Amino acid sequence: MITIKFIIRKMEDAKEQPIYITTRFGRNQKLMYATPLKIKAAFWDKNRQRLKNSKYCPYKDEYNSMLASIDASVKQFIADAGKAGNTLSKDELREFLDVRFGKKSPKATDFHSFFEEFIRLCDTRVSTNRPGQTIAERTKISYRSAYRAILDYEADRGVKLDFNNIIPSFLTDFVAYLQMSFNYSANTICNRVRCIKAVMKAANDQDLTTNIKYRLFKSTFEDSFSVALDEQELDRLLKCDLSNNIQLDRIRDLFLIGCCTGLRFSDFTSIREENIKDNVLTILQQKTGKYVFIPINAVFVQIWSKYGGKLPSNISTKAFDEKIKDVCRIAGINERVIKPITKGGKRITTMYEKWQLVSAHTARRSFATNLYRSGFPSLSIMAITGHRTESSFLKYIKISREEHAQLLMRHWQKTGKMLVG
């Protein structure tokens, strides 16, 4: 009989504390193990052994999913040991959990089995960039894509890679292979290389290889091209009559909420009534785990009132990105835009109408860009958008060199420091 429970040891403690797994199995075997998941006791449902469905607990769904996964994997591990006729000890179960949570190196010792194990453990590895959260789903996808690229490369070149093969000469050939065979963009290739280097670093950390030559290979992302909508285009969106299409009407309104707040899609679709007090929106960002404080403007109030304080939110990012293009096309956001990109090792340019390049993230860029154009201080904008450095912020906004010159001209005119003959 296998019994598994999840507990919080100090329900009266207000501080964050680990969720423990307690397991009973075999002949009076018992193990209590601290998982890397930490929460406040106020968010814990003792009876359900899961996080409460609280609006103040942003990680509840992710953590509950992880607990279910842990529960299933432990039961399977114990059951497999029983089928094999082995008497499982609590030390063996502890070893299994240590590997599952990345505390110890997995049994995998070769490049391929370690890469596969690394990907599998993404489900329980806590991110260094997202406090209290696991690796983002798109990062997991990147690791899987990098590994598939490795397998394709091996099949094409007729080789079998190991840790010692991951050196600059291999990575150079790997990049050339991706360029020629798949016509990937420079940033896609850079992402594949960085994933491989991350796996190698993990292997170094676990003493599975002494090879560090891969560090000598440098790969850099090129600045990605994206658009921002100016005040006139946003006004055109606001006034666009979409009364005959309820879905597009809601998509437009959500997009404008993003343009008013500078929030990411995951955040501006999660705004609730309790987030607003005294005309200030306060929200915990899902990506960074930090609070931002944003004053609401007239457009926000207009849209908020339209929905009675309950914004439509039941839509995926992918569906939103598709539909907002339709909205912008109908609104006549059709300025001709040239998009440069490096693909297959060559720099190419393609002409688009602006609506074709609009996505959910355009709202956040538009917010930052329009505030910057208005002369609002960069550091104040960064406090709202959450950018850590001014250099990263200046790359983020969409301002041409001509517009920078005009901003400087207006500054000189305002301060009376224009040069005169």
- Do 284 and 368 fall within a single domain? yes
pLDDT, one tens digit per residue, over 315-372 is 888 899 999 999 999 999 999 988 887 777 778 888 999 999 999 999 999 999 999 8
- Do 365 and 260 fall within a single domain? yes
- Do 48 and 193 fall within a single domain? no
Where is the domain boundary, 201, 222, 243?
Answer: 222
Give the residue carrying structure tokens 């201080």: 377
CB 269 within 8 A of CB 363: no
Say what the pLDDT of residue 336 is: 92
Say what the pLDDT of residue 381 is: 87
Is pLDDT of 49 > 80? Answer: yes
Domains identified in the chain, total number: 3
Is pLDDT of 141 > 60? Answer: yes
- Do 235 and 196 fall within a single domain? no
Tell me if 59 is assigned to some domain: yes
**pLDDT bucket at 109, cuts 50 / 70 / 90:** confident
Say what the pLDDT of residue 28 is: 75
Q: How much is the average pLDDT of 305-318?
A: 88
Is pLDDT of 421 > 50? Answer: no
- Do 238 and 348 fall within a single domain? yes
pLDDT, one tens digit per residue, over 387-407 is 778 777 877 776 666 665 666
Tell me if 24 is assigned to some domain: yes
**Dihedral angle sign, alpha carbons of residues 71, 72, 73, 78:** positive
Q: Name the residue range of residue 27's domain.
A: 3-104
Where is the domain boundary, 104, 130, 160?
Answer: 104
Question: How far is C-alpha 4 from the geometric centre of its chain's CA atoms?
Answer: 32
- Do 335 and 364 fall within a single domain? yes
Tell me if 174 is assigned to some domain: yes
Say what the pLDDT of residue 25 is: 76
Q: How much is the average pLDDT of 199-220?
A: 92
Say what the pLDDT of residue 335 is: 92
- Do 202 and 124 fall within a single domain? yes
Where residue 248 sits, what CATH number does that domain have?
A: 1.10.443.10
- Do 163 and 305 fall within a single domain? no
Tell me if 421 is assigned to some domain: no
Q: How much is the average pLDDT of 158-169?
A: 95
Residue 189 has a CB neighbour count (10 Å cut-off) of: 24
- According to DSSP, the β-strands at 276-277 and 280-284 are antiparallel
| SS3 state at 368 | helix
Is pLDDT of 214 > 90? Answer: yes
Where is the domain boundary, 104, 120, 139?
Answer: 104
More confident residue, 376 or 235: 235
Say what the pLDDT of residue 412 is: 63
- Paired residues of 292 in beta bridges: 283
**pLDDT bucket at 84, cuts 50 / 70 / 90:** low
Question: Which of 50-59, 77-86, 168-177, 323-332 comes out lowest in average pLDDT?
Answer: 77-86
Tell me if 318 is assigned to some domain: yes
Tell me if 420 is assigned to some domain: no
Say what the pLDDT of residue 128 is: 60
- Do 96 and 140 fall within a single domain? no
Question: Any idea what DSSP says for residue 406?
Answer: H
Where residue 164 sits, what CATH number does that domain have?
A: 1.10.150
Mean pLDDT in the chain? 86
The rounded distance, in Å, linking the Cα atoms of 150 and 156 is 10
Q: How much is the average pLDDT of 275-284?
A: 92
- Paired residues of 342 in beta bridges: 347
Say what the pLDDT of residue 334 is: 94
CB 291 within 8 A of CB 283: yes
Say what the pLDDT of residue 126 is: 62
Question: How far is C-alpha 343 from the geometric centre of its chain's CA atoms?
Answer: 24
Longest dimension (CA), the chain: 96
Q: How much is the average pLDDT of 379-383?
A: 86
- Do 37 and 138 fall within a single domain? no
Tell me if 314 is assigned to some domain: yes
- Do 309 and 375 fall within a single domain? yes
- Do 116 and 213 fall within a single domain? yes
